């Protein structure tokens, strides 16, 4: 097995495939159903995630990035079938707003023990035509497992969370994780981010499966982030350029 990825089993048919060697510390989730499997996020494309996925499922795999930033779409190149939210169809299909050179500089921003065959000169930003374009409320049916698409923009315009009601699992992407939450990109919006948190707040959640950093995400973080955004709103800070604000489990950069 590749030394680039780390695999951990969450339950009998759910796995997390992580890239801990890189500063982004991404997590991708493989959900195995009776009919098909779903890979939520696909990592940076530095090594071949499909080789790992093939060891964990024999079902057809749908790849689904929570949003189309480079560190979530790198592995799409290895899958025939992938979905994106309608608000980022353009980004995945030829119009991503960052240059390849800038993204390459992010790939090597911090020292990293890359795989021996990794060649930055050959690194590309994935571009392609999704097999399906998703909208809020869509259901992805894996046979015995169903995932609801929740459109949660703010970090990125087409950001989605996936909610598995039967298990009360929230696949939270970059909306919720331990670390620095980012709403400062020109394509981010802190007010909309706050609205997305409010959309998640009423859901019964037993497990938060986030896209970055520490996997042990406390359930209380959802209400903590909500309260932090409300406080920033009261203080008139929900506008870009306001700065970085620190809380016990996370920061918010606006
Ligand atoms: N307008 C943007 C959008 C994204 N980036 C870079 O992409 C990465 C985003 O990573 P997430 O895991 O937070 O989705 C990150 O490396 C950003 O620097 C950007 O620079 N500008």
What pLDDT is stored for residue 59 in this prediction? 98
Average pLDDT along the chain, 254 residues, taken 10 residues at a time: 92 98 98 98 98 98 98 98 98 93 97 95 96 98 98 98 98 98 97 98 98 98 98 97 97 98
Enumerate the β-bridge partners of residue 53: none
Question: Which ligand 1 atom is nearest residue 187's CA?
Answer: 1
- Report d(CA 206, CA 37) in Å as an integer: 22
Distance from the alpha carbon of residue 55 to the mean position of ligand 1, in angstroms = 30
Q: Which two tokens stand for residue 180?
A: 């620095």
What pLDDT is stored for residue 13 in this prediction? 98
Residues in the chain: 254
Closest CA to 57 of 15, 10, 5: 15
Ligand 1, atom 9, residue with closest C-alpha: 69
Ligand 1, atom 16, residue with closest C-alpha: 106
Ligand 1, atom 8, residue with closest C-alpha: 69
CB atoms within 10 A of CB 97: 10
What is the CB < 6 Å shell around ligand 1? 24, 69-71, 98, 106, 174, 182, 185-187
Distance from the alpha carbon of residue 69 to the mean position of ligand 1, in angstroms = 6
Q: What's the pTM value of the predicted model, to 2 decimals?
A: 0.97
What pLDDT is stored for residue 1 in this prediction? 62
Distance from the alpha carbon of residue 167 to the mean position of ligand 1, in angstroms = 30
Ligand 1, atom 21, residue with closest C-alpha: 185
**Element at 73 (helix H, strand E):** helix 70-73
Distance from the alpha carbon of residue 38 to the mean position of ligand 1, in angstroms = 24
ipTM of the predicted structure?
A: 0.95
- Ligand 1: residue of 107, 126, 185 to mutate (most ligand atoms within 8 A of CB) is 185
Q: Write out pLDDT tens, residues 14-38.
A: 999 999 999 999 999 999 999 999 9
Distance from the alpha carbon of residue 64 to the mean position of ligand 1, in angstroms = 18
Domains (ranges, CATH) in the chain? 6-253 (3.60.15.10)
């Amino acid at each position: 097995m590749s030394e680039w990825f780390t695999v951990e089993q969450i339950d009998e048919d759910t796995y997390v495939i992580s890239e801990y060697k890189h500063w982004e510390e991404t997590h991708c989730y493989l959900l195995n159903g009776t009919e098909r499997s779903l890979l939520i996020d696909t990592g940076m494309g530095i090594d071949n995630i499909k080789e790992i996925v093939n060891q964990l499922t024999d079902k057809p795999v749908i790849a689904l990035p929570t949003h189309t930033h480079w560190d979530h779409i790198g592995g799409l190149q290895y899958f025939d079938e992938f979905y994106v939210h309608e608000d980022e169809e353009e980004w995945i299909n030829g119009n991503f707003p960052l240059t390849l050179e800038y993204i390459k500089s992010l790939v090597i921003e911090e020292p990293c023990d890359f795989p021996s065959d990794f060649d930055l000169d050959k690194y590309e930003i994935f571009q392609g035509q999704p097999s399906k374009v998703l909208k809020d409320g869509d259901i992805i049916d894996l046979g015995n497992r169903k995932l609801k698409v929740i459109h949660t923009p703010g970090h990125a315009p087409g950001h989605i969370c996936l909610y598995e009601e039967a298990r009360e699992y929230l696949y939270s992407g970059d909306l919720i994780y331990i670390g620095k939450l980012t709403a400062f990109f020109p394509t981010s919006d802190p007010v909309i981010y706050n609205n997305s948190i409010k959309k998640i707040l009423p859901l019964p959640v037993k497990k938060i499966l986030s896209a970055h950093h520490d996997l042990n995400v406390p359930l209380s973080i959802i209400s903590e982030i909500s309260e932090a955004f409300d406080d920033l709103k009261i203080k008139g800070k929900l506008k870009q350029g306001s700065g970085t604000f620190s809380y016990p489990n996370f920061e918010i950069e606006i």
